[in-house]
Every structure is written in C-alpha cells, then in structure tokens.
Structure 1
Amino acid sequence: MSYNSSSVGSGSRTTRRTFEFGRTHVVRPKGKHQATIVWLHGLGDKGSSWSQLLETLPLPNIKWICPTAPTRPVAIFGGYPCTAWFDVGDLSEEGPDDLEGLDASAAHVANLLSTEPADIKLGIGGFSMGAATALYSATCRILGQYGNGNSYSINLSAVVGLSGWLPCSRTLKSRMDRSHDAARHAASLPILLCHGLGDDVVAYKHGERSAQVLSSVGFRNLTFRTYNGLGHYTVPEETDAVCNWLTAMLGLEGSRS
C-alpha cells in the first residue's frame, strides 16, 4: 500500500513523497473478538517478527494487525535504506521530527483500524520506533488531527509503548493549548509505557522523559513501568504486564489474569 504526501514549498513548486508500506500480518482472535490492536515493529524489523510473538500471548479476544514499515533512507544509518516508520537521526525526543513520515505512518495505522466493526475496541502498540509511532498516533487522537492539520477520526481505547520515545514532544503542549477538547480526550486514553534501565539503544532517560511530558499535558491514565537490567528487547515479565494491563483496560473476557 502506498501513501502520497505533498507539501508546497516556495513559489508553486510541490514536493511529493510516496511511502510504500510492506506486508501486513494478521493474528486472528482465538476467542470472541473484542479488540483489535495494530502493533508496530522497531527500526529495521518487519511485521512478521512481532506477529509470531503476539500469536503466543494469552489474549484470545484480540485481533493483532502487524504492518511492515516502508523501506527508506534513514539518517541515523547515514542514509542507508531500511524499514522505518519515519526518518530519524537520533533515537530520542531530542532529534528533529520527520512530521511528514510520522503523519504517513499514523494515517496508515488509522486506515488499518478504520474497517474494524463498530463494537470492537481499538488500540495501537509498538516497540522502539514502533512505540514512538504509537505515541504520536495517541497525540493525533487527542488533538483530533495529524501534524499536517488533516482530521484524525479513530477512537483509540488503549496505547502501548515498549522501549520507545515521544516524537514532537517539544510542540505538544502548545498544540494542546489551542484545542478545547484535547485535555478531556487525553485524560480518558489509557497508555502503558515500559522501559528497561539497561537500554543502550533508546536510553531509559528518553522513555522516562516522554512519560513525564505526556503526564504534564494531561494524560492522567498513564502507567510507566521500569525493568532493571532490561536492554533494548522484551522479556516475559514485560509481556505478562502488557497482557494484564490490556485485559483490565479493554475489559477482555476469557484471558488469563
């Protein structure tokens, strides 16, 4: 699937980038379908890697959708192309934000969720850069629009971020101050963030800072979990916490507590 993004520069010149998203993998619910979650992989990975893990989780009421990011030149790798939800030169909230890439990926995720039945709860989760994209989608949800001003209409019920960070954090408060409904939407959206103290790729301080920024702008239903000795990967203790949190937040039936 491709996504066209255009921006008008000086004069009448128009620059257009086309993002070709890779294969999407779907894990069907083994029980009654109550929720659908789009799960986003990290930099250089693909959707199939996470679909294999999600298949094993004791969450029979969730349908998982695992898309694959476009292959694009990535600044942190000196312009070498790999799968990435957006361009990045620094795996933290301190680097410059690729708003065009973020909007394209957030729109792709929203499109995947837009065809789900009306009675199904919707969520987004991810690891590393996937977590960053999930958190960006959360801000689009509470602001009601993407960074480019287009309307965002997906009603999210849960957002999960593992070993990630919050893009566009420096402008989030000013954008929220201009929205009448943002604080109310933020307070009602549950977010789970998990980060390892031993993460040598996305440093723990960036995950902690992202949680602080989200809390400060009104995300009151936010849980931030810390794991001693955990690097830039996931462990059963963390996935168990995700399962328990999703079961509680989404009111799932038939899941192991």
Structure 2
Amino acid sequence: MLIARRIPRFLYFTTSCLVSPTMSFSTQRTSDGTITISPKRAQEQSALVVISHGLGDTAEGFADVAENLARAMPYVKFVLPTAPTQPVTLNMGMSMPSWYDIVGLDERSNENCHGISESQARIARILQEEHDKFGLPYNRMVLAGFSQGGALSLFTGLQLPQQLAGIVVMSGYVPAAAQLKVQQPSTPILHCHGTQDVIVPYAMAEKSQKMLQSKGVEKYELQSYPIPHTVSPNELAAVMAFLQQVLPPDDTCQVTLPDPSTMSVKELKAEIRNAGLSKQATGLMEKHEFVKLIQDHRQGKL
C-alpha cells in the first residue's frame, strides 16, 4: 500500500532557524480541512506559501512545520488545504485524502492522474484569491508540497500564466508529464529527496529533474538526504533557506486590506479572531465598535 508518511509532530527546526519564540501569527481551521496561518497584523503580510500534503494525510500533517516557518518569516501567510477523500487505485481502491488517483508509479501508469486538473484549479484559485482580494503579486507566492502534494505543486506552478517566486518539492515527482506544458521555465525549484526512499525512489527525482530541464526549466536544484519517505530537520532547514531567499522581507509588497467600515460584521469578526483580539472584543455589540477595534489594531494602538 502506498501512503505518504505523516510528518512526525515532534519534528521541528533547530533553534538557529527561529527568529523569535513569540506568537507572531494566528492559526485558523475551517470545516473543509484548510489550515491558514496568518500574520497577527494582517496588513504586514507580504508573501504567501501554499503547502500541499501527501497521499493519505491531511493539512494537519504539516501544521507544525508551517507554524515554525511562520515564526521565522512573520510576514508570510501559509495556507494548507486538505485534499478530497476519494478512491486510490494503487491502494486497492481505498478512499483517502488524495489530490488525484494513482494507478501506478511507473512512467506509463503515472500518466493516468484522474482528478489532477481539479486539484490544480483549486490551488490556482487560492493564489488568484490572494491576488484579487489583497493585491499580493504572484512573484511573492510559493507552492510547496510533500510527495503527491509536491507533484501537484510542480504540475500547477509551472503551468500558471504568472511566474511564482518558487516551487518546493519534498519527496515528489513529475505527474502526468505528457499533459504538463511548461509556461514558467524561470521559476526556481528546490527538490529535496531521500536516497533511502522506497515509496518514491530517488531515481524518480532524478528523472523528474532531467525531464523538466528537457522542457526548458532553468533552475531546478535537487538535494539528496540519507532518509526514507519523510522529511528531516536538515531538509527543512534547506527549505527555510530557499523560502527566505525567494521571499525576503519586502514592505513594498504588503497586502491591501479592505476598509473596516466597508466590511460585514462577519468579516469584521473573522479579522478580529485572526488578529487574536477576541478578548478585547468581549462585550462589543455594535458594528462601529468592531470597526474601531480593527482600526486601532492596524494603527498599532493595541
């Protein structure tokens, strides 16, 4: 049975990767399994990273990793969607969270990725919403993922009309290669892979690199680690360094937030929760009170 390993919840970065022990972010979970980790001061966001989990996992598998990244990069929003639960042919038709069906890992079977277009569109919508709603440039966005989620990140990021800041693949591969039409050959790619991986062998990573380079991809860095189908602290440190390189702090790219006075009460309450202001909002009843609370927070009065 092929199931991507859940990331161990005890696996953290070394202390040298963390810039502050303080909680500079807010974590929200929605009913569809999406986890969003946002800067507490929403107006200070200037970048986005979308992390897609592996086969059989959920967004929770990378929640701890994303929160550690958020501590080191407090200007980045992290969005972790959960794949739909659907049958997977390779796993005897068992239903599990999966971005697309997997018939086999040989090159011929790997072309049959039923459902990948729908997942590709879902990830693209997350990016588009961030751009349309908050004005965040695409070159301040990164797609990342583990195993099947890394494959989806490659498939989506290289085919967007806009160039991203980068793509991170952990223990992944190129899916549906015959369908993949590279639109953004200059997008930097970091591919980290275990040499002891028996689920997605390291040879698949090498083939993926060569295949995409033959399609014109210019910046594809493949790093090997003496690990099986999982991630290690050293690998996560490399991911951190890559993200900091392609998404350095840049106040000129900060998002544009809607005027609180034009927001609905539901939207106001959501921002209050995200900002960690629920205690200060206790007892407030009128919309203008919520508006003032958010205005004071954005102006640094709280």
Query: Normalising by structure 2, what TM-score?
Result: 0.65
Q: Which residue of 2 aligns with 1:164?
A: 172
1:40–1:125 contact (8 Å) kept in structure 2: yes
* AA at the equivalent of 1:137: T
RMSD over aligned Cα, in angstroms? 2.1
1:124–1:158 contact (8 Å) kept in structure 2: yes
1:93–1:166 contact (8 Å) kept in structure 2: no
Q: Which residue of 2 aligns with 1:127?
A: 146
- Structure 1 distance, partners of 2:118, 2:177, is 18
Q: Which residue of 2 aligns with 1:47?
A: 59
Q: State the shift of 1:155 in Å.
A: 4.2
Q: Which residue of 2 aligns with 1:207?
A: 205
Query: By percentage of residues, which structure has more strand?
Result: 1
1:136 matched to 2:155? The reply is yes
Q: Which residue of 1 aligns with 2:76?
A: 62
Query: By percentage of residues, which structure has more helix?
Result: 2
List aligned pairs for 1:100-119, cutoff 5 A.
100-116=114-130, 117-119=134-136
- Structure 2 distance, partners of 1:23, 1:171, is 29
1:22–1:69 contact (8 Å) kept in structure 2: no
Q: Which residue of 2 aligns with 1:239?
A: 236
Q: Which residue of 2 aligns with 1:3?
A: none
Q: State the shift of 1:247 in Å.
A: 0.8
Q: State the shift of 1:96 in Å.
A: 3.5
Which is worse superposed, 218-227 or 127-136?
A: 218-227
1:29–1:62 contact (8 Å) kept in structure 2: yes
Q: State the shift of 1:163 in Å.
A: 0.1
Q: What SS class does the counterpart of residue 218 from structure 1 fall into?
A: coil
Count of matched residue pairs: 212
Residue identity (%) = 32
Q: What SS class does the counterpart of residue 115 from structure 2 fall into?
A: helix
| Moved >6 Å (runs of 4+) | none
Q: Which residue of 1 aligns with 2:47?
A: 35
Structure 1 stretches lacking a partner, 5+ long: 1-20, 145-153, 177-181
Structure 2 stretches lacking a partner, 5+ long: 1-30, 252-302
Which is worse superposed, 71-80 or 214-223?
A: 214-223
- Structure 2 distance, partners of 1:92, 1:248, is 34
Larger CA Rg, structure 1 vs 2: 2
